[in-house]
């Protein structure tokens, strides 16, 4: 019996990526390499106003003076930034009135992903802004949203149609020179999503974007900006899937969230980029800067992520709790298998009084992977009565993987309370035996236990996502090793 879980682990280790296929759409590429010219090319391709070019060039100059960070518990092979296409767009931008006009190849892709726009529109009432290689091709439900005064569109469209909003908020949460990858994104970002929820509006549907890397050797640099005005509420979902590629692909995205007084933003991610094969070849480098600011009093930002993909993940969705009584939350399940590496966690910076934050992180390591939680909780002098609770658990499947916890706690205020707890465990033989005795096979038992282990986080996902996330957990560990 003892060897049985190992057999299953091996089997899982050998499972192939389910979403590995390439969509055959003609693409338009920028020449490889990164210079001021590349940036001017991107900006002019996108017919951007001068302030955008200025923003990009400034970021580029900052980036040139910076070094790739090395502090994470990651082994990152050298990246040749001059060997990457910084712009790839479907050649003919479809201008469509109905889904019938969408490139059938594209529709097939979505079907394979299980997110057919038809399905989505008819059944789930989810507005989807699908992004393929950085350029938004189709936005649905804009009419419904327009009625409420909600703006939900591609970043490029926002630059064209709402430059004042973009100008006001872009780069205020993640400054152009925030870090190496953020600077890179700020210089070359191709497209992304933009959402603005006006004062007092509760967005009636879940907003959602699927990102997809398609063209070979293209970096994906999308940028998302969500602004919730006073008293507004929005739940935003982001899903990612990349086709199988042999060469590593760089993904350096930025997400900025601004929550004004009494506003609430819930941001959910299911990240399933190509993780590389079982020998550790290929896979996405996912270096993402996600940050939200609770600017107004009583505002709330909640991050939920299920991370199963990418060869290397480097991301720390964060909250700056500036408004008094504001709340930040981070719920995460991160699965690494084979040779995947993840260094992920959160930062909670308490500036306002009575601010509260919660961090729940569940790491699951299998194969020869390394999975690290890294998180900062900072309580500043002014943040009277601030509270943080962090719980970071690790589950190890097999004896060749690593699970690490790197919390940083900084407190400068005596009325605050910060608590951090972490445990590391494996699935015990007793648990397995108990399940088996009740007639559950080992594979299902492991799946059951792992899903139970992650439940606290999965339950935070919107319904539409929770089902997919559960499936993904099973697929990444082949329906057994969660």
Partner 1 sequence: MTATTLNHAETFDQLFKEKLPVISRNDLASLTRLRNEAIALFNQNGLPGSADEKWRNTDITRRLDLDYTMHHEDFQSNLDVEKIFACEVPDLDTFLITMVNGWYAYRNSALRILPSGTIIGSLGRALREAPELVEAHLGKVARMHNNPFVALNTAFASDGVFIYVPDNTVVTKPIQMVNVVDHHENLFMQTRNLVIVGKNSRLELVHCDDSHNHTAGFTNTVTEIVMGDNASVDYYKMQNINDQSTVLHSAWFHLGRDARLNSHAISLNGGLIRNESVVTLSQPGADANVYGLYLMDKKQQTDNLVFVDHAAPNCTSSELFKGILDDYARAVFNGHILVRPDAQQTAAYQSNRNILLTDKARVNTQPFLEIYADDVKCSHGATVGQLDAEAMFYLRSRGIGEENARMLLMYAFAAEVIGKIGIENLRDRIDDLVKKRLRGELSICDQCVLHCSKPDQPITFDIDMSKI
Residues engaged in binding partner 1 (CB under 8 A): 71, 73, 379, 381, 394, 396-426
The angle that helices 50-64 and 180-188 make with each other, rounded to 10 degrees, is 150
Instruction: Name the minimum Å distance from CB 301 to partner 1.
Output: 23
Rounded distance, CA 220 to CA 440, Å?
43
Instruction: Name the minimum Å distance from CB 370 to partner 1.
Output: 8
105 φ, ψ (degrees, to nearest 5):
-55, -40
- Name the residue nearer to partner 1 (CB basis): 69 or 125: 69
- Name the residue nearer to partner 1 (CB basis): 18 or 73: 73
- Name the residue nearer to partner 1 (CB basis): 67 or 122: 67
What is the SS3 assignment for 167?
Answer: helix
Say which residues have a Cβ less than 8 Å from residue 328's Cβ, sequence separation at least 6. 292, 294, 300, 301, 302, 319, 321, 348, 355, 356, 357, 358
- Name the residue nearer to partner 1 (CB basis): 73 or 112: 73
- Name the residue nearer to partner 1 (CB basis): 68 or 425: 425
The DSSP code for 447 is H
- Name the residue nearer to partner 1 (CB basis): 82 or 425: 425
Rounded distance, CA 434 to CA 63, Å?
55
Q: Where are the alpha helices (DSSP H) in 94-201?
A: 104-113, 117-119, 142-147, 155-161, 163-169, 180-188
- Name the residue nearer to partner 1 (CB basis): 139 or 411: 411
By DSSP bridging, strand 192-197 and strand 151-154 are antiparallel
Give me 374's structure tokens.
């890294």
Handedness of CA 195, 458, 260, 49 (dihedral sign): negative
Instruction: Name the minimum Å distance from CB 377 to partner 1.
Output: 9
Contact between 208 and 238 (Cβ < 8 Å): yes
Instruction: Name the minimum Å distance from CB 390 to partner 1.
Output: 9
- Name the residue nearer to partner 1 (CB basis): 154 or 370: 370
Rounded distance, CA 58 to CA 336, Å?
36
Q: How distant, in Å, are the alpha carbons of 39, 133, 245, 288, 315 from that of 217? A: 18, 11, 9, 18, 22
- Name the residue nearer to partner 1 (CB basis): 168 or 425: 425
Instruction: Name the minimum Å distance from CB 450 to partner 1.
Output: 14
Instruction: Name the minimum Å distance from CB 334 to partner 1.
Output: 15
Instruction: Name the minimum Å distance from CB 419 to partner 1.
Output: 5
By DSSP bridging, strand 300-307 and strand 254-259 are unpaired
Which neighbouring-strand residues pair with 365?
336, 396
Contact between 283 and 253 (Cβ < 8 Å): no
Q: How many CB atoms lie within 10 A of CB 320?
A: 23
- Name the residue nearer to partner 1 (CB basis): 13 or 190: 13
Q: Where are the alpha helices (DSSP H) in 1-49?
A: 3-13, 36-45
Instruction: Name the minimum Å distance from CB 403 to partner 1.
Output: 5
Handedness of CA 293, 298, 299, 305 (dihedral sign): positive
Instruction: Name the minimum Å distance from CB 202 to partner 1.
Output: 36
Instruction: Name the minimum Å distance from CB 415 to partner 1.
Output: 6
């Amino acid at each position: 019996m003892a060897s049985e879980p190992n057999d299953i682990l091996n089997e899982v280790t050998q499972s192939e990526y389910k979403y590995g296929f390439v969509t055959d759409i003609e693409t338009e590429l920028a020449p490889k390499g990164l210079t001021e010219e590349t940036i001017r090319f991107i900006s002019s391709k996108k017919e951007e106003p001068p302030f955008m070019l200025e923003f990009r060039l400034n970021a580029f100059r900052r980036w040139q003076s910076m070094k790739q960070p090395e502090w994470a518990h990651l082994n990152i092979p050298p990246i040749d930034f001059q060997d990457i296409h910084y712009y790839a767009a479907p050649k003919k931008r479809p201008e469509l009135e109905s889904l019938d006009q969408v490139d059938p190849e594209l529709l097939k892709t979505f079907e394979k992903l299980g997110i057919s726009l038809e399905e989505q529109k008819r059944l789930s009432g989810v507005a989807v802004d699908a992004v393929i290689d950085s350029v938004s091709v189709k936005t649905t439900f804009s009419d419904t949203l327009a009625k409420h005064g909600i703006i939900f569109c591609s970043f490029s469209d926002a630059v064209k149609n709402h430059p004042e909003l973009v100008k006001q908020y872009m780069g205020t949460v993640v400054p152009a020179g925030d870090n190496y990858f953020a600077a890179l994104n700020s210089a070359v970002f191709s497209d992304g999503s933009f959402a603005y929820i006006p004062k007092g509006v509760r967005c009636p549907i879940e907003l959602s974007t699927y990102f997809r890397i398609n063209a070979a050797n293209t970096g994906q640099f999308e940028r998302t900006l969500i602004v919730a005005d006073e008293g507004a509420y929005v739940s935003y979902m982001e899903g990612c899937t990349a086709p199988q590629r042999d060469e590593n692909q760089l993904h350096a995205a930025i997400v900025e969230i601004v929550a004004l007084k009494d506003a609430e933003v819930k941001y959910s991610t299911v990240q399933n980029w190509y993780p590389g094969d079982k020998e550790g070849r290929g896979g996405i480098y996912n270096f993402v800067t996600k940050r939200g600011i609770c600017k107004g009093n009583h505002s709330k930002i909640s991050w939920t992520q299920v991370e199963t993909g990418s060869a290397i993940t480097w991301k720390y969705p964060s909250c700056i709790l500036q408004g008094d009584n504001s709340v930040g939350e981070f719920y995460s399940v991160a699965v690494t298998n084979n040779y995947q590496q993840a260094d992920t966690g959160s930062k909670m910076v308490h500036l306002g009084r009575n601010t509260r934050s919660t961090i729940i992180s569940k790491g699951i390591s299998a194969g020869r992977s390394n999975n690290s939680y890294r998180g900062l909780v900072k309580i500043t002098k002014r943040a009277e009565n601030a509270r943080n609770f962090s719980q970071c658990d690790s589950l190890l499947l097999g004896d060749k993987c690593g699970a690490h916890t790197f919390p940083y706690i900084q407190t400068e205020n005596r009325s605050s309370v910060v608590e951090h707890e972490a445990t590391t465990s494996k699935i015990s033989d007793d648990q397995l035996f108990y399940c088996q005795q009740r007639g559950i096979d080992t594979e299902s038992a492991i799946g059951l236990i792992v899903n139970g282990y992650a439940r606290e986080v999965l339950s935070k996902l919107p319904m539409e996502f929770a089902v997919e996330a559960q499936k993904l957990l099973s697929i990444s560990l082949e329906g057994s090793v969660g």
